[in-house]
Structure 1
């Protein structure tokens, strides 16, 4: 079975995000980028499936500028077999991303698609669900456990009430949650090997997919700074402030 994993190049989670002075977006000049943490979990899970003999090939896909090749090489160093970059310098919305991945999934005859449940830059949590809808495949979102058995994917997923287990007929789409696994660190030999693994570059026009944005960003601004807290003498004073000042009760 062939497994597809989508990975995204995002501002590193250790970097403090700064808004541009003109409010047009987030500052990305001289900023460190890395693979979206949820996508690292997706790559790790695909590699574990291959190591267990459940998958034969892992194809990683990314959509973004030429620099996203670094993100794909990181996934190859973790154990993926080959990579595809759909190159674009434009900001691509979740629906367009889902359409592009769907086109690759059909072309590659994918048996299982694994995606991070969301990206840490926009937190949309939409692409996996849209991909499943476009392909007409069953989906298991927020997976904390994944097992393949007898042509089906058994997914334990986190819901508000606890855990839910669903059995999906393959091909299917699975999105990963934090508790699914702990991604491995790529060893130096694997990093060197990744440089020789195939990486294909294509464009949205080659896939006959319209990626024109549906949304217009009017302004980006930082959230207001929180006011300093105060200490109160007793519970009665606390209730009074919550009622008359904060007006939350």
Structure 2
């Protein structure tokens, strides 16, 4: 029986226009449709596959405002057993290091039905709203546990987690003793769609809400005012302009080639 925590995040839909807030230049999350990050769906799927094979319990952990409950319910509707929602206004604008610190502290508060802590923490390799790709590794350092990152295949056996990491240099086999943290890539699986039964069941599943005080994190160590980096200004992307139309009168291919050369595309 394996205790698994999946780290999930609600992000602006990639099909929505994203913009920064005027005041502190953080991402304006209310300006776009919000969804469970696709890579987190794959992390959830992998956790459920491990549970279906070896038994155990799957919890999701998410840090975010009230609206993040929508993403949490999506994960629960896929089949996760329960959730923990770290919700505190002081977290607004936290950078990757601050976020990792808070999540590591929250993980220390997560308990399973058997009274034990997590054996495996599964996350996506990077969120689509930040593309930092470092949070799982930072959490591993804070907790002092092994990390298997950028994994495309996972196998749980004999108290160890192993699998394959694919890089530009090739495919590498990795293995670690439990407890460990793992991040997965889009090649790990194809996530399931929530069934109607799963959607209805998710409404009754437990979602525990924690604040920074609950996990022992000082608000002065997180948030936009205490972040290691600061955005001082931003320039909106220019509006779309009409494209250049080419009328083919026998020389259309040449004109397109000339245009591509002029744009330094070829």
Secondary structure, in 3 states, of the residue corresponding to 2:75?
helix
Larger displacement relative to structure 2 (98-107 or 68-77): 98-107
TM-score by length of 1: 0.86
Report the secondary structure of 2:126's partner residue: coil
Q: How does 1:1-249 map onto structure 2 within 5 Å?
A: 1-19=2-20, 24-53=25-54, 55-89=55-89, 90-108=92-110, 109-209=117-217, 210-212=221-223, 213-222=227-236
How far apart are 1:27 and its partner, in Å? 4.0
Q: Which runs of 5+ in 1 are unaligned?
A: none
State the shift of 1:13 in Å.
2.0
Deviation at 1:226, TM superposition (A): 10
Change over 3 Å in CA distance of 1:19–1:131 after alignment to 2: closer
RMSD: 2.9
Moved more, 102-111 or 23-32: 23-32
Give, in whole Å, the separation in 2 of the partners of 1:133 and 1:160.
Answer: 25
**Any stretches of 5+ residues in structure 2 without a counterpart?**
111-116, 247-251
* 1:204–1:188 Cα change, 3 Å: same
Instruction: Give me the whole-angstrom Cα distance separating, in 2, the residues matched to 1:5 and 1:159.
Output: 23
Contact 1:77 1:193 in 2 (8 A): yes
Q: CA deviation at 1:154?
A: 0.8
Instruction: Please tell me whether the aligned partners of residues 23 and 220 of structure 1 are also in contact (alpha carbons under 8 angstroms).
Output: no
- 3-state DSSP of counterpart to 2:187: helix
